[in-house]
Amino acid sequence: MTELTFGQRLRTATDTHGPLCAGIDPHRALVESWGLGYDVDGLAAFTDACVDAFAGHVGVVKPQSAFFEVFGSRGIAILERAILALREAGTLVILDAKRGDIGSTMMAYAEAYLGKDAVAPADAITVSPYLGFESLRPALDLAAQTGRGVFVLGLTSNPEGRTVQHARLRDVSVAESMVAGAAGENAGARERGELGSVGLVVGATVGSAVQELGLDLAGAGGPLLAPGVGAQGGTTEDLRRVFGDALPNVLPASSRDVLSAGPDVAALRDRALRTSESLAALLR
């Protein structure tokens, strides 16, 4: 296990650089809006510009794995190169891969992204718990051993999410069981007054769902990755309404809004820094 936990390193990163989690989402429309071809060369140019802009300047960066996977092994190679460059510069990387399975398959996913022998390990990954929270055990345990983290999908903003996440069994919603699972994993860190390493993904645009479901996000004790800020409609008022007393643990994620400032590296970095400054003022 590394000397510092992911939660400790994340707290230091956001205290130093601000709370923004800058996304790297090279989907077709965005890549082409930069005047690049939607091919491997365009993907590489897009990604390199993001790395140049964010590395060492933004505390946390979140590449979306799917947009690299679409180009096969050559796309994955670009993703791996970006992860290594960002981490070398001291920027934490949350790989948005949303992996979820059972048994040996989940263990293989964990080893691929969190293991000590991983080719380009991320600092944390997003995981899907909808085969049951305990199906994540291989990733949870390996992350703890290697000083890395996981972000469990808790309450997503897509309309279809309600049919699963709001469902109740014996008066406990599925989302509430995920929050409880994260809280259990973070109990030791919480007792030490530290940020836990098992986070939750809670959309910035879920409206009143947290209150309706009675979710104790602050009690979960871990970071709260909040996608949807900026171009997807999430505002600072939404963050206040959704997260309430859990605001100090929120990691607002913005992709399209920040990336729209590209392809100029200086403009991209400036947009990220200004966004992070405004979010820091909110979360103080």
Residue 188: what pLDDT? 96
Q: What is the DSSP letter of 123?
A: S
Across 234-243, average pLDDT: 83
Domain residue spans of the chain = 6-283
Residue 114: what pLDDT? 97
Residue 3: what pLDDT? 84
pLDDT over 90 at 281, yes or no:
no
Q: Strand 60-63 and strand 198-202: pairing? A: unpaired
Question: What is the rounded distance in angstroms from the CA atom of residue 133 to the CA atom of residue 5?
Answer: 21
Question: What is the rounded distance in angstroms from the CA atom of residue 117 to the CA atom of residue 278?
Answer: 38
Is-catalytic flag, 98?
Answer: yes
Residue 166: what pLDDT? 94
Q: What is the DSSP letter of 64?
A: B
240 pLDDT band, cuts 50/70/90, is: confident
Average pLDDT, the chain: 94
Sequence-distant (≥ 6) Cβ neighbours of residue 279 within 8 angstroms: 18, 19, 20, 229, 236, 252
pLDDT (tens digit per residue) in 34-91: 999 999 999 999 999 999 999 999 999 999 999 999 999 999 999 999 999 999 999 9
C-alpha dist (Å) from residue 35 to 158, 228, 239: 30, 25, 33
Identify the helix (H) or strand (E) that includes residue 173. strand 172-173
Choose the catalytic residue: 98, 162, 241, 256.
98
∠ CA 27-228-245, rounded to 5°: 155
pTM score: 0.95
Residue 231: what pLDDT? 57
Exposure string (b/e) for 206-225, b if CB count within 10 Å is 16 or more? beebbeebebebeebbbbbb
**Beta carbons within 10 angstroms of residue 264's beta carbon:** 13
Question: What is the rounded distance in angstroms from the CA atom of residue 41 to the CA atom of residue 21?
Answer: 25
Question: What is the rounded distance in angstroms from the CA atom of residue 189 to the CA atom of residue 5?
Answer: 9
Is the CA virtual torsion 175, 249, 5, 26 positive or negative? positive
Residue 2: what pLDDT? 47
284 pLDDT band, cuts 50/70/90, is: low
**Beta carbons within 10 angstroms of residue 118's beta carbon:** 17
Across 136-141, average pLDDT: 98
Packing angle of the helix pair 40-54, 265-283 (nearest 10 deg): 50
**Beta carbons within 10 angstroms of residue 166's beta carbon:** 15
Only one residue has tokens 């600092």, namely: 123
pLDDT over 50 at 160, yes or no:
yes
The fold of 6-283 is: TIM Barrel (3.20.20)
Only one residue has tokens 């205290």, namely: 15
C-alpha dist (Å) from residue 138 to 51, 106, 110, 141, 255: 30, 6, 7, 5, 29
pLDDT over 50 at 131, yes or no:
yes
CB 94 within 8 A of CB 225: yes
Q: Among 165, 164, 151, 170, which residue's Cα sits nearest to residue 93? A: 151
Question: What is the rounded distance in angstroms from the CA atom of residue 228 to the CA atom of residue 218?
Answer: 20
